[in-house]
Amino acid sequence: MSVFAHPEFDHHEAVVYCHDARSGLRGIIAVHDTHLGKALGGCRMWPYPGEAEALTDVLRLARGMTYKAALADLPQGGGKSVIIGDPRADKTPDLIRAMGRAIDRLGGVYVVAEDSGTSVQDMRLMAEVTSHVGGLADAAAQAAGRTGDPSPATAFGVFVGIQAAVRFQLGREDLSGVRVAVQGLGNVGYRLCRHLSEAGARLWVTDLYAPAVERCVRQFNATAVGMDQIAALDVDVYAPCALGAVLNDRTIPQIRARVVAGAANNQLSEPRHDRALQERGILYAPDYCINAGGIIDIYYEGPDYDAAVVDRHLRRIGTTLTAIFERARDQGRPTGEIADRMAEERFRPS
């Protein structure tokens, strides 16, 4: 299977296949770029149909982490790892430790954290065999109220990003009375609703899990709407916080919000949808910039964890987004494209 000729290959510094016969581990680690620092990225466990799909995913995700860390102003590079297997059926402590040993053999160029299919508990197992693990929530972080779950920081970062987008696009200094449609009320979406509600925003919400909707209606006086209605509501902000590819040929013509800003990864169905939003006068907050709160939080983990420092860094998501918005306006380019250029300026040596 060719790596150098792979469509997702983008000058990745290393792609390492890992195997452990005893535990059945089959995994791949991809280090995309380490110009800014060690490559940080989650370990995803997924029942990939085969090796080809796993390679495509790990190459794409590792590259995304480089861009994300650079725009988040972190001295870190981008990497990712994948384990081929069903986390419910195939995951064992031995297999997770075997992956930890494979990561350890890279000597610290790649630092692992949790991702889909892996948990804080799995990170603790890996930490038995390697020190190159993030997302553990050690004693200092726990004392500051952290559990290793990145969602609270992600939600706060998205909230700050929405404030910046509303200020830029609507000229509003606060969110009082601003109408926000939140799609997906899970770990991030629910906490985002709480921040928005406390800031005086009015909420419209949807989720495929009815109790999540009822909780937001009850706690935040939100209005429940159907899942197929959320993108087309007459609101100021549409905040996708569920799944990817929600900005597509079908939804974009329906969107009435002037701001799209939410936590979901890969919101644009295709890269061209960035321009489609711009042409409709909709301000899009690039997803990997606005949802970087989790990796910012993980970066500060350690004995010196200081919630006030993390909070200040999270607020810089708003500053970065404003710089993207201004440059996109001045150059007449879509915001996603500008975000990519800004990230590359940071991590590519000139």
* Residues in contact with ligand NAD, shown as a per-residue x/- string from 160 to 199 under the rule CB under 6 A: -----------------------xxxxxxx----------
Rounded to whole angstroms, the Cα distance separating 292 from 74 reads 10
Question: Helices 335-347 and 307-331: crossing angle, nearest 10°?
Answer: 120
The one among 51, 86, 93, 209 contacting ligand NAD by CB under 6 A:
209
Interface with ligand NAD, residue 242, by CB under 6 A: yes
Distances (CA, A) of 268 to 260, 279, 337: 11, 15, 12
Q: Which backbone phi and psi does 159 adopt, to 5 degrees?
A: -60, -45
Category of 46 on φ-ψ map: left (φ > 0), alpha (ψ -120 to 50) or beta: beta
Residue closest to ligand NAD (Cβ): 186
Shortest distance, position 78 Cβ to ligand NAD, whole Å? 14
SS3 349: coil
- Determine, following the binding rule CB under 6 A, whether residue 208 of this chain makes contact with ligand NAD: yes
1 forms part of the interface with ligand NAD (CB under 6 A): no
Shortest Cβ 186–ligand NAD spacing (Å): 2
Q: What is the DSSP string of 213-236?
A: HHHHHHHH-PEE--TTTGGG-S-S
By C-alpha distance, which of 83, 67, 116, 100 is closest to 292?
67
Q: Does residue 56 bind ligand NAD (CB under 6 A)?
A: no
How many binding residues for ligand NAD (CB under 6 A)?
24
Residue 64 makes contact with ligand NAD by CB under 6 A: no
- Which residue number, 6 or 215, has a Cβ lying nearer to ligand NAD? 215
Helix/strand number for the chain, H first, E second: 12, 11
Q: Contacts with ligand NAD in 274-333 (CB under 6 A)?
A: 291, 294
- Among residues 206, 278, 320, 335, which is the contact residue for ligand NAD, using CB under 6 A? 206
Query: Given the DSSP bridges, would you call strands 179-183 and 39-46 parallel, antiparallel or unpaired?
Result: unpaired
Q: What is the smallest separation between the CB atom of 321 and ligand NAD, expressed in angstroms?
A: 15
- Say whether 80 is catalytic: yes
232: helix, coil or strand? helix
Catalytic residue numbers? Answer: 80
- What residues line the site for ligand NAD (CB under 6 A)? 150-151, 154, 183-189, 206-209, 212, 227, 241-243, 263-265, 291, 294
